[in-house]
Each structure stands twice: as C-alpha cells, then as structure tokens.
Structure 1
Amino acid sequence: MQLLNQAFAWLSERYFGGIPADNIAIIVGVLLSYALAHVFRRIPADMPAARHVFSVVSSVISYGIVQGHSTGVVHLAVGSIAIYILMCNLRGPAMPRAVFLAAMVHMSYSHIRRQMSEAVSGRIEQDYTGAQMVFVMKVTSLANCIHDGQRGDRDTLTGYQRKNAIRGVPGLLEYLGYVFFFPAFAIGPAFEMATYRRMVTVDSRCVASQLTRRAYKRLVESLVWMAVYVRFSHVTFAEMVSNHDMYARRSFVVNAFHLCAAGLVARAAFYTAWKMSEGACILAGLGFDGFDAEGNAQWMDIANIHVRGVELGTSLREMVDSWNIGTNVWLRHHVYLRVSPPRPAGSARTSSTRVTLLTFLVSAWWHGFYPGYYLTFMMGALASSAARVLRRNLRPLVVPTTDGAAGQCTRRQAAVKAVYDFVGWLLGLYTLSFLGAPFMLMWARPSLLLWRYNYFALPLAVLAIFVAFNIPSVKRRLRQATLRAAVQATE
C-alpha cells in the first residue's frame, strides 16, 4: 500500500501539476474499472450470481486495495448488512424511514470523523465518505422502492415510482452486487435496483462494439476536462482568498470574472471524475435496455452530468438540473416527493418554498457538516426560488404565450429572446460559481470573504427580487405589461 501511495505521489508531482495524490488514486481506480468491465460484460447474463460476486470482489480490490480505503470497505460492508436486516424485518412506511435515518446517521459519523481529522491535520483528504454518499442514495432509494411495491394504493404512485417499484426485498447476493457495483462504487452514478436488474439479466455482448464506442467517448471527454483542470489548477477559490489585498482592491467586474474562472476549474474536476466513471458503467453494460420491436438497441440515460446543459444552459434551473443528476433524481423522488407527494386538484399542499428549503438542507446534511456546505445549499434554495419568481414574471414579457401566437415569433421578439437567453446564461454561470465557492472552501470565514469581494451580489439580488415582486404596484404593472405583450404578439 505504501508503494502505491509513493507511486501516486510521484505521478502527481511529475505529470499532474501537484494535485493531491489521493485524486490520482481515484483516477487509477476508475481506469482499472474499465479493464474489469470488459471481463464483467463477458460473464453470461444467465449467470447473474457470478456477476454479483464479480462486482463485489472488484470493488474490494479497486477501492479497498488500489485506492487504499480498506477501512471504508469494512464500514460499508457492515452498514450494508445492518440496512439489509432493517429491510427484511420492518414493514410499511417505518421501513424506509428507519433505513434513511440509519444510513444518514452512520454517514454523519463518518463525516464528523473526517472533519475532525482534517481540522487537526489542516489537509483535505479523500476518504471513504464519497463512496458512502453513493451508498446512502442506493439503499434509501431501494427502501422506498420496496415500500412502493408493497403498497396497496399503487394508483397514487407517480410514473417513476411505479416503474422502479420492487415487490420484495432482493436476495442478499443481489443486494450486495447492487450496492457494491464496482464502476459506480466510489463516485457514482447512483441508479435504481430495477436498472441494475435489467443490466445483470440482459445480454449486452451483442452490442459490445456500441458499448465500447459509447464508453470510450466518455473517457476521452473526461481526459479533456482533466487537462483543463491540471493546466489551470492554480485558479481556485482558495487562491482568491489567500490574495486578500489584491482582490479587495479590484473592481466587481474583475472579481466576478475570476470567480467564474475558478468555478469552471472546480467543475472540471467533477466532470473528469463523473464522465470517467460513467464510461466504465456503460462499458459494463449499464444503460443498455435491450431491443425494441424493430430490433434497434435501446439506451437509458445514466449520465450524472450533462456538461452542455451546465455550461451553456440559459437559466439557473437548466444548469442545476444538468448537474449531479443522480443526486437531483434522488432528492426529487426520494426526498421532495416523499415530503410533498402529488395531491388531487383543490387539496391543500405543503409550501413549495418550504419543501425546497428542506430538500436543500437534506442535501447539505448528506454532503457533510462543513459550514460552507450550508451556505451553498441554503443560498441555493433561496436563489432557485428567486429565479422561479423572475422567470414567472419576466418570461411572459419576452416569450408571450397565447393561442393565437403559439409558435410565431417576429424578428424583434427573436432578438429580445436572444438577449434574454444570453443574460440568463451569464447570470446562471455567475450564480453557480458564487454558490460553488463556499462548497469548495468548506469554511464560513473564507466563503464570506470571497462573497465580500463580490459585494454580496447574489444575496442582495435575491432579497431585491423577493421584495420587488411582492410590491402591489409592481405586480399590477407586470400584469399590464404581460397583457400588452400578448396583444402585440397576436397582431
């Protein structure tokens, strides 16, 4: 193990610009998954037990030995068995709630232990908490899916819940194969048990060339983003905080540009890891969904990130929906809709803003206990709500929606819409970087200092939006302007 650590440190210093050696270990572990995926795919689909065993053993080798997280493997193995016992012995709504609480409390212990260790050493370390976060998503979603499959009121389930419902607790070997699926074990993407079952039981050898092409396309994309990260790894939020005298004197525009540049470099690291892991999952067969009636291969979208949607999205919502998709899906279907399920028309419903804030708090809890995480997610909840208010009130002025004008657009309206989209893209990227800074800095003091360089632009803008759009005279003028825009669109 010591020899591997020395090798990763040498690679970091020689070829990767001095980035942390544990990041190199993650990359090597994921690249090893590509070789293992070629073997996994060749195991016959009528031998699912062999695939489960291979997946578990591969995760132990790749994560426990190559990446040096043997303690993490033990933690996750013990946690897996404890969760499985809860699933087998509890019934009704109590089961998914108990699984959620047990998994989150166990992960909280790991987060606190890591945070205390880093406070003493002063060094940010990559430990097994990342894999445990993926584990929590899998077991809590599985618990909900088992509960959905056993409910008598299946008509009240959403389409997503009916599609992924599981009628009974899976066997122990299948459960461990799902939890320890080796290409996604360390960094995701997370997916439902129903998706794993389709992958294990569908023979993907007939589309081997397509899987290989799709997988290595993701690998090439991840290597491009790795080059961006290594080349500009010195452009960070921490670098801005450390040069306090310089950035405190600079203008808002210059600091905003540097903030967005640092945000891009930080996202490049995530793109590298997620795209590399996504490719390994595809190579193993995840995402192939058999053939349709015409004999054409069907594919599921298992991406954890849509880079184009994040970097070129024209609204904050589009950017957020394209980022960390597996976590967004989990938060939506296994947190948000569990707290505020769809209700019949006319019935009372929980406040959308309140449930959104609760969901963001669960997301922050899931990430850990650094104060920066809570700054990011609480501010993110408020920024998302403010963005919805802006879109609801301003978009009808730019894109009138009337029956007579549906699909019609004058040259002037097209130009206004282009400006609207450009401003939305610019503000969205700035908001992402503004919110991402506390997440990467982790502590409140440097985060607030960096926000001060940017004149607390986002919190003040959110406050201004909530105040302005709740003034009666502003609401009245907006309604009048919307009506005029609709009339002009029909002329």
Structure 2
Amino acid sequence: MWGLVLSILGYMNISPVPYLASCVGTTEPALNLLISILAAYPLAIVYHQYINQNNKLRNIYFVITGLDMAFFNFGLSMIHNLIPAIVIYFSTMVLPGKFNVILTLVFNMAYLLIGYVVTESEDYDITWTMPHCVLTLKLIALSFDLWDGEKMLKGDASLSENNKKTALVKSPSFLELIGFIYFPSCFLVGPIFSFRRYYDYLNDKFPLHETEIYDKVAMKRFLQGLAYLAAFQIGVSVFNMKFMLSEEFREVNIFYRHIYCGLWAHFALYKYISCWLLTEASCIRFGLSFNGFEKNKDDGKLESRWDGCSNIKLMRFEFATKFQHYIDSFNCNTNHFAAEYIYKRLKFLGNRNLSQFFTLLFLALWHGIRSGYYMTFFNEFIIIFMEKEFESIVSKTSTYQRLWASYFKYPLYFLLKMYTIVFMGWSLVPFDVKVFSKWWTVYSALYFSGYIFFLPWAFVYKPILVYFIRKPKSA
C-alpha cells in the first residue's frame, strides 16, 4: 500500500516526491511513473516470499498492488481504466464472440480517443490515457481470444497455431480480469500479454521453482534498464529537440543536421527501452515471463526460457541496418499484437500492402490524434515499402553477394548503419513533437530529405535500378 501512503502524503503537501522531482530536473508525474516501475521488482520478491504459496491470494495480491499503483499515479482518474473492464466483463456474458470483438474494439478506441481530446497537450503527457493505451490492446486481444475459443470448440480449421495458444474457451471471472488488467509490472507501460498467459501463470503452469535461474535473468535485465536510463539522460542532454527547433539548427551543415537528428532519435528511444527493460525485469522476477524450454547449445539439456514478456531485442536494435530490424526489435509485444490481431485479421482484403496500411493507421490512431503520429506511421509505410522492394531486387544480384563476401562488407555495413540512424531520426521527429508547426519546422530544416529519398521510389528510382540491373551486356 506504498502508493496510497505516498498519495496521502501528497494531499497533505508533505510528500518527498515533488522535492525529488525538482532535484533531478523532471516532472512529478514522470517521477511517480519511474517509482512505480521500480517498485514492481520488490513487489515480485514479496510475492514469492509470502503470497505464491497460497493459491487464493495470488490474484488478490495483483488486484490490490495494481490498484494501489494506479491510485498513486492517477488518483481518482483511475476510474477510467476500470470502466472498460466492467464493460467487457458484461459484454462477454451477453454477446457472441464476433459482436463482442466489434463492441470491444469500437468502445475502447472511442474511449481512448476521447481521453486524448480531453487530456492531450503538445508536451509528453503522463495521464490515465497512458495505461489506457496498454489496456485497450489487452482488452481487444482478450475479445479476439474469446472468439477464437468459440471457433475452437466448433472445430474451426482456420485457426492458426498462435491463435490456438491464446484462445479461451472460458471467460475470466471479474477478479481474474481485474488482476490481469492491473498486474503491477505491466499496468502502466506494458508489455501486453495474453490472458491465457496470465491464467496459466496463476494455475501453476510455469516452473516457478526455478527461482534461482530467472532471478539472475531478471537482475541482468534490471541493470540493463538502469544503464539505458542513464544513457537516455546523458544523450538527451547533448542531443535535444529544443536545438532542432531553433534558428541555430538551420545555420549548421546539412549533413550535421541529419546526423544530429539521427542521434537525437536514437537516444530518445532509450526512454522507452529503459522502461521496458525495467518492467521486463519485474515480470521475470514474478515468473510471468516463462516462454517454454529450449535445448542448451553446449550439452543439449532442456533449459527454461524467460523472455515471454520481452519488448525489446537489444542487439538487433543497436546493430540495425534496415528499418525492418527496428520493427522486429522495438516494442515487440505491440508489434505482435498488430500482426496477430489486426494485420492477419485483414486477410480478407486480399492485399498485403493494404493490410499493412490499415494496421499502421490503427497504430497511429491508437497513439493519439496529433498529426505527428500519422506522419510517423506514414513514414514507416513508405520506408518499409521501398526497403522490401529494393532488397528483393538487389539481393539477387551477384555484385551484392560478392560485396558481402569481401572486405567491402565493413564499409557497406557502416553506410547502412548511418542510413538507419539518419532516417530513423527523420521519421521519428513528428512522433515526438506531435504538432504540425513543429515537425514542419524540423523537416524544412532537413529539406524534406526523407520524402525526396523514399516517395519517388516506385516511379523514378525503381525503374532506373531495374533497367541497369537487367541491362544486357554488350558483346
């Protein structure tokens, strides 16, 4: 009940949080968020020491600690996160799967968008809409899983293996639903996980006796999270948006501007990575992250995996040489949701590019109503479209294969790395500043280089590239 205590101290104007926030140069809501993320780790230790042995107390513990955390961060505004839970609980009882999915999707997205209209400003806001983002995806996924459960009972052969793993043939009880929503490690910033995972976790389907193994994994992730948090603080003090919005930014060399923007974005993303690493650490420490067994490469023995709640693949992110690497490594659980519950469910459209476009549109809408979100996901669409076609054409040539088989692979890797850093910065600018006037200011300083580089691909660059590759050799 630490959250309730700190909240009471806050109402009495004797809480240490405002003072600490001023000391470290951040806002009180941001510090509350960090305190909550860090608090989940000791809550996991307490759980294993005193709660795990009693089956009846497990879910209640998550309900109490999660609600306590919600009240600490949002006060009475936490009621907004309870309303959709109540709605889906009753809609599941009275509506068949398909209609429950439609109602859940429409209601939660509408509730979230109204929340944005009421609370959103030009700054980075920490309000009840932040956990509501996570909640919206969890409830939409839950409604689909219940529908898949209905299909499975009917013997529907169209269900994929992934659908079968998460399908639910029984609706959760109200207390199970609240525990699932307010699970203290994931309630605020994710990662999202299926109710099937939560149910199996509560019912001893995970090897929680291997505490020593996953405790070491959890501590490693926790320390990585702290390291990335420190790197974020240092990085944004050197590379910041304030400079890019200034007149001084236009006066420096155009190449410097692009590199500066790219490095700014790289460090700006560390804010999310640090949060995900810290929350993953507590998820592992709770034992929720169990992800099956795999053979040890050295002795062939089966070992348990604890990456079921991983939201970032650090090595792939840091060594990315194309934007697909960023998609594969960053915000993995949200990308998995988008693939399984949006992209693949749009198969009836009969067009992959169209399915991808609507998936990105959904994600932009899910983030907010500011123009910057839509520009960022549009940027992602045109970049991925170009990359896939460029790679499919070039990778088949003997020249490309010879380059990667020779010492030229090192300068080629360097060029690709610079390409991803520079254009990640360019594509991420609208997402960070959100409003049109700001991202237009930065884009004009960069001479709209991304659109010159990516937009003409299908009409100009691709035909030229194909011509030279297929050009017959002179006799």
Query: Common fold, TM-score beyond 0.5?
Result: yes
What does 1:252-291 correspond to in 2, within 5 Å?
Answer: 252-289=254-291
Are positions 1:75 and 2:80 aligned together?
yes
- Counterpart residue type for residue 262 of structure 1: W
Are positions 1:21 and 2:28 aligned together?
yes
Instruction: Report the secondary structure of 2:378's partner residue.
Output: helix
Question: Post-superposition shift, 1:411?
Answer: 7.8
- Counterpart residue type for residue 112 of structure 2: M
Question: Post-superposition shift, 1:282?
Answer: 0.9
Question: Post-superposition shift, 1:154?
Answer: 2.9
Instruction: Check whether the contact 1:148–1:161 (CA below 8 A) recurs between aligned residues.
Output: yes
Are positions 1:302 and 2:309 aligned together?
yes
Are positions 1:364 and 2:364 aligned together?
yes
Instruction: Check whether the contact 1:43–1:50 (CA below 8 A) recurs between aligned residues.
Output: no
Per-residue CA deviation, residues 367-405 of structure 1 (Å, 9 max, x unaligned), is: 1111111111122112211121221122222687xxxxx
Of 188, 194, 203, the match for 1:186? 188
Greater alpha carbon shift after TM alignment, 323-332 vs 47-56: 47-56
- Number of aligned residue pairs: give it: 456
Identity across the alignment (%): 18
Change (3 A) 1:139 1:21: same
- Counterpart residue type for residue 16 of structure 2: A
Per-residue CA deviation, residues 258-294 of structure 1 (Å, 9 max, x unaligned), is: 1022112211211121111111111111112566896
Question: Post-superposition shift, 1:96?
Answer: 1.0
Of 197, 200, 221, the match for 2:224? 221
Alpha-carbon distance between aligned partners in 1 of 2:274 and 2:294, rounded to the nearest angstrom: 33
Instruction: Report the secondary structure of 1:299's partner residue.
Output: coil
Instruction: Check whether the contact 1:232–1:265 (CA below 8 A) recurs between aligned residues.
Output: yes
Are positions 1:9 and 2:11 aligned together?
no
Of 298, 313, 320, the match for 1:313? 320
Instruction: Check whether the contact 1:41–1:205 (CA below 8 A) recurs between aligned residues.
Output: no
Alpha-carbon distance between aligned partners in 1 of 2:404 and 2:147, rounded to the nearest angstrom: 53
Partner residue in 1 for 2:373: 373
Partner residue in 2 for 1:426: 418
Partner residue in 1 for 2:106: 101
Partner residue in 2 for 1:110: 115
Instruction: Check whether the contact 2:130–2:188 (CA below 8 A) recurs between aligned residues.
Output: yes
- Counterpart residue type for residue 393 of structure 1: I
Of 321, 326, 341, the match for 1:334? 341
What does 1:232-271 correspond to in 2, within 5 Å?
Answer: 232-244=235-247, 246-271=248-273
Of 456, 459, 467, the match for 1:464? 456
Instruction: Check whether the contact 1:45–1:201 (CA below 8 A) recurs between aligned residues.
Output: no
Change (3 A) 1:259 1:208: same
Question: Post-superposition shift, 1:153?
Answer: 5.4
Instruction: Check whether the contact 2:429–2:439 (CA below 8 A) recurs between aligned residues.
Output: yes
Partner residue in 1 for 2:159: 157
Partner residue in 1 for 2:201: 199
Partner residue in 2 for 1:478: 469
Alpha-carbon distance between aligned partners in 2 of 1:435 and 1:291, rounded to the nearest angstrom: 38
Alpha-carbon distance between aligned partners in 2 of 1:165 and 1:198, rounded to the nearest angstrom: 12
- Counterpart residue type for residue 94 of structure 1: F
Alpha-carbon distance between aligned partners in 1 of 2:404 and 2:318, rounded to the nearest angstrom: 27
Per-residue CA deviation, residues 120-139 of structure 1 (Å, 9 max, x unaligned), is: xxx54311111111101111
Partner residue in 1 for 2:384: 384
Question: Post-superposition shift, 1:241?
Answer: 3.7
Instruction: Report the secondary structure of 1:414's partner residue.
Output: coil
Per-residue CA deviation, residues 205-249 of structure 1 (Å, 9 max, x unaligned), is: 4211222211121111111111122223334553124422x1112
Alpha-carbon distance between aligned partners in 2 of 1:168 and 1:286, rounded to the nearest angstrom: 21
Question: Post-superposition shift, 1:423?
Answer: 2.6
Instruction: Check whether the contact 2:291–2:308 (CA below 8 A) recurs between aligned residues.
Output: no
Instruction: Check whether the contact 1:399–1:413 (CA below 8 A) recurs between aligned residues.
Output: no
Greater alpha carbon shift after TM alignment, 303-312 vs 288-297: 288-297
Question: Post-superposition shift, 1:87?
Answer: 1.7
Alpha-carbon distance between aligned partners in 2 of 1:247 and 1:257, rounded to the nearest angstrom: 12
Instruction: Report the secondary structure of 1:415's partner residue.
Output: coil
Partner residue in 2 for 1:322: 329
Question: Post-superposition shift, 1:46?
Answer: 7.3
Change (3 A) 1:201 1:280: same
Instruction: Check whether the contact 1:99–1:139 (CA below 8 A) recurs between aligned residues.
Output: yes
5+ unaligned residues in a row in structure 2: which ranges? 1-6, 296-300
Question: Post-superposition shift, 1:416?
Answer: 4.2
Q: CA RMSD in A?
A: 2.5
Question: Post-superposition shift, 1:177?
Answer: 1.4
Instruction: Check whether the contact 2:214–2:306 (CA below 8 A) recurs between aligned residues.
Output: no
Question: Post-superposition shift, 1:462?
Answer: 0.9
Question: Post-superposition shift, 1:101?
Answer: 0.8
Partner residue in 2 for 1:125: 125
Change (3 A) 1:452 1:147: same
- Counterpart residue type for residue 211 of structure 1: Y
Change (3 A) 1:417 1:54: same
Partner residue in 2 for 1:144: 144
Greater alpha carbon shift after TM alignment, 372-381 vs 232-241: 232-241
Instruction: Report the secondary structure of 2:309's partner residue.
Output: coil
Instruction: Report the secondary structure of 1:184's partner residue.
Output: coil
Alpha-carbon distance between aligned partners in 1 of 2:97 and 2:305, rounded to the nearest angstrom: 35
Please give the TM-score of this superposition, normalised by the length of structure 2: 0.89
Instruction: Check whether the contact 1:315–1:421 (CA below 8 A) recurs between aligned residues.
Output: no
Question: Post-superposition shift, 1:295?
Answer: 6.3
Partner residue in 1 for 2:3: none
- Counterpart residue type for residue 51 of structure 1: R
Partner residue in 2 for 1:88: 93
